[in-house]
Amino acid sequence: MKILVTGGAGFIGSCFIRHMLKSHPDYKIINFDCLTYAGNIENLDDIKNSPNYSFIKADICDKKAVDRAVSEVDCVINFAAESHVDRSILNPEIFIETNIKGTLNLLDCAKKHGIQRYLQVSTDEVYGTLGKDGYFTENTPLAPNSPYSASKAGADMLVRSYFETYKTPVLITRCSNNYGPYQYPEKLIPFFISKLLKGEKVPLYGDGLNIRDWLYVYDHCRAIDTVLHKGREGEVYNIGGHNEKSNFEITKIILKEMGRDESSIEYVKDRLGHDRRYAIDNTKITTELGWEPSLTFEEGIKLTINWYLNNIEWIKSIENKKAAAL
C-alpha cells in the first residue's frame, strides 16, 4: 500500500510515519508538508533514508501539487493543519485557508483519483466545552469556540459531505490532547519544559483548572492505523486516553520532574474562548475496532519529559529557527 501523509513533518504526523514504517515495513509512505514554522523535517532524520519513505515539500492549498501526489497513492491521511488556538485568535484567516480550503483540495483529488481511503485527523475541540460531568461521543453536536476549532469543524463537515454526496470512502478521527516527543514547543508540556530549562517561570492561564484528556502520541498513531484498516467508511471515531488532568496538575508534574516548586508558576490572564473541560468517550473505537491505550498517563508523561530533557539540542534548534524567522 502507498499512503500520502500530509503534515508529516509535524508532531503527530512525524510520529505516525515512524509508527507506520515500523508496523508495516512493506508500505510506501509519502510525506507531503510545506514546512511551516511547526513543520520540522529533522523530526524524521532517523528514517529519512528508508527506501519506503519519500518527502514532497508542498502546500495542501496548492491544488496542482496535491493532484500530482494523490494520483500516485492508495490512501490519504490528512494531518496538515494550523493548530495553535492562540494563533487562530490573532490571525483566523490562515486557519480557514489551510484547514478548510486545503482539506477541500485533498477531497477533490481523492474523489478524482478513486482513493481507497481518505482519513481526516480532527480534534475533540470541535465539540466545544463540557461541564463537570459527561463525555464527548461521536454524536455530540459540534459547537466550536475558537477560530481554530471552527476551521476544523468546517473541514469535518466537508469530509462528511463528500461521503454523503460522492460516496468518497472517508473516515474522521477526533482525538484528545496529544503529548509525547517532537511536539513543537508552543504547546503546554514542551513549552513549560523549555521555559524551566532557561530558568524562567511558566505562564499558566487563568486559575489553571482547565481540564483536558491526555493521549500519548504513539497510542494515537496506533489508533489512526487501526481506523485506517478497520474503520467503517463514513464514520467518526473518537480517540481518547481516559486521562483527565487540569493544566495545573500537568504543571505540577513537570515541576516535580525538573526539581522545581510552585514558585516557578506565573498566573497570566486567561485566553479568549478558553474551553473549560474536554473528555472523550472512546467506547466506539474500543468495542468496534479493538483499540485501547497501551500506556498509563504516569508512564507516558515520564517518557515524554525525559525525552525533552535528553533532547535539549532539539528544543534549541527549534527556538533558533524561530528567532531567525523574526
Each residue's pLDDT expressed in tens, for the chain with a length of 326 residues: 999 999 999 999 999 999 999 999 999 999 999 998 888 999 999 999 999 999 999 999 999 999 999 999 999 999 999 988 888 999 999 999 999 999 999 999 999 999 999 999 999 999 999 988 899 999 999 999 999 999 999 999 999 999 999 999 999 999 999 999 999 988 899 999 999 999 999 999 999 999 999 999 999 999 999 999 999 999 999 999 888 999 999 999 999 999 999 999 999 998 888 888 999 999 999 999 999 999 999 899 999 999 999 999 998 888 887 766 65
Got the DSSP string for 76-133? EEE------HHHHHH-HHHHHIIIIIHHHHHHHHHHHTT-SEEEEEEEGGGG----SS
Q: Among 33, 82, 108, 124, which one carries the catalytic annotation?
A: 124
Active site residue 45: no
Amino acid at 217: V
Reported in sequence order, the residue ranges of the chain that DSSP labels E, i.e. its strands, are: 2-6, 28-33, 53-57, 75-78, 117-123, 170-175, 177-179, 202-205, 211-216, 236-239, 244-246, 265-268
Catalytic-residue membership of 125:
yes
Of 57, 147, 168, the C-alpha closest to 104 is: 168
User: Of the residues 148, 179, 218, 237, which is catalytic?
Assistant: 148
| Residue 319 appears among annotated catalytic residues | no
